[in-house]
Amino acid sequence: MTEPLTYADAGVDIDKANSLVGVIKQIAKQTPRTGVLGDIGGFGGLFSLNLRDVERPVLVSSTDGVGTKLKLAFMMDKHDTVGIDLVGMCVNDILVQGAKPLFFLDYLAIGKLCNKTAADIISGVAEGCRQANCALIGGETAEMPGMYQDGEYDLAGFSVGLVDNDKIIDGSEIRVGHKLIGIASTGLHSNGYSLARKVCFDRLKLKVEDHVEELGKTIGEALLTPTKIYVQTVQGLIKDLPIHGLAHITGGGIPDNIVRIMPGGCRVKIMKDSWEIPPIFGFIKKAGNIDEMEMMRTFNNGIGMIAVVPDKDVSDILDRITAMNEKAWLIGEVAEQKPGDEPVEFV
């Protein structure tokens, strides 16, 4: 009872955490961006703003996590892609307002620190930052014994971007008659996993390594596919094409997210069967006997981003997206909102 205790005896290994910082420094150097000052390891990340080309600068920020998709990473013991999801969920949110991502910070909380697992996670974050053309300038790794089961952790991310006040995309220019262009997702992205896991692992009793013929891969591979990061696509559109509204399709699906950018007097008509729905959604729907609207409000169903554009520019915008090797479809239009009308109608 009198033997002296240490922090390591309580489950926190400071030396291991310190050695991880050196690994993270090397990973962060793979995400260079003009404006970054200093290295990882200080008390705060430093970023110098270059405002010469921005007349009225506005910072745009967002924070998010990966949700229960992390359970797939635990089940598969594969941790190098959830960091991409983390970055995607954050930067796609600031992107819809026309902002260019500048820098990113992550927070990793883990029960018992394993440097290899942590390095895999942060490598995924760095890959997401490269795809988003932003810098990983800081973060926190917290070893928290007793808070998480062995092999489990949680992730949160924080992104900051920049937009000129005169170029903010806020939906105010949306008018009746404008069209909706849906840009393809890569799968579930990072939403709806509580229902997806219940269908696949509780009802069907699948294991992550089970091959599903209609998906052409294992169920684990299909569900762990990383979130699409739309920075290059959207920035390639807004530089010279009229994009009057953007909606990131996350929790709540198309119905709950598209209404967030509609001005007063406007509603949305979505054309059923106007885009390709990836097989994973049909698989989950059939296996879970899930109602169509429940699917629409839980998952993105193959559309990860929606652009609201003038009718006359639809063809040019679709051509531009195709030229960037992305898939997109005309999926609906903006209509007049009359008393009693539903804000979103599937026709």
Amino acid 166: pLDDT: 92
Instruction: Indicate the pairing of strand 135-143 with strand 100-110.
Output: parallel
| Farthest CA pair distance, the chain | 80
Amino acid 77: pLDDT: 95
What is the enclosing helix (H) or strand (E) of 340? none
Amino acid 42: pLDDT: 75
Work out the burial of residue 44: count CB atoms within 10 Å of its CB; fewer than 13 is exposed, 13-18 middle, 19 or more buried: exposed
Which of 6-10, 176-180, 210-214, 250-254 is predicted least confidently?
6-10
In the structure encoding, which two tokens stand for residue 167, read together? 């170029």
In contact, 306 and 183? CB cutoff 8 Å: yes
DSSP calls for 103-114: EEEEEEEESS--
Where residue 128 falls among pLDDT bands split at 50, 70, 90?
very high
Is the pTM higher than 0.85? The answer reads yes
Query: Among residues 60, 79, 59, 61, which one has the least CA distance to residue 69?
Result: 79
Which of 45-49, 115-119, 175-179 is predicted least confidently?
45-49
Q: Set out the domains of the chain in order of their start, with CATH numbers.
A: 14-167 (3.30.1330.10), 179-346 (3.90.650.10)
pLDDT(7) > 80: no
pLDDT tens digits, 269-320: 999 999 999 999 999 999 999 999 999 999 999 999 999 999 999 999 999 9
Instruction: Indicate the pairing of strand 344-346 with strand 266-270.
Output: parallel
In contact, 218 and 76? CB cutoff 8 Å: no
pLDDT(161) > 90: yes
The proportion of the chain whose per-residue pLDDT surpasses 90, expressed as a percent, equals 77
- Average pLDDT of the residues of the chain: 92
Whole-angstrom CA distances from 118 to 58, 89, 107, 153, 211 are 33, 20, 11, 10, 28
Residues 6+ apart with CB under 8 A from 27: 119, 122, 123, 125, 126, 136
Angle at 73 between CA 250 and CA 60, to 5 degrees: 35
pLDDT tens digits, 18-41: 777 778 778 878 788 888 887 777
In the block, residue with structure tokens 């539903």 = 342
In contact, 24 and 104? CB cutoff 8 Å: no
Where residue 1 falls among pLDDT bands split at 50, 70, 90?
low
pLDDT tens digits, 62-113: 999 999 999 999 999 999 999 999 999 999 999 999 999 999 999 999 998 8
Residues 6+ apart with CB under 8 A from 56: 164, 165, 166
Residues 6+ apart with CB under 8 A from 37: 46, 47, 48
In the structure encoding, which two tokens stand for residue 308, read together? 């609201």
The residue type at 283: F
The rounded distance, in Å, linking the Cα atoms of 248 and 47 is 27
Residues 6+ apart with CB under 8 A from 273: none
pLDDT tens digits, 219-252: 999 999 999 999 999 999 999 999 999 999 999 9
Angle at 148 between CA 143 and CA 152, to 5 degrees: 90
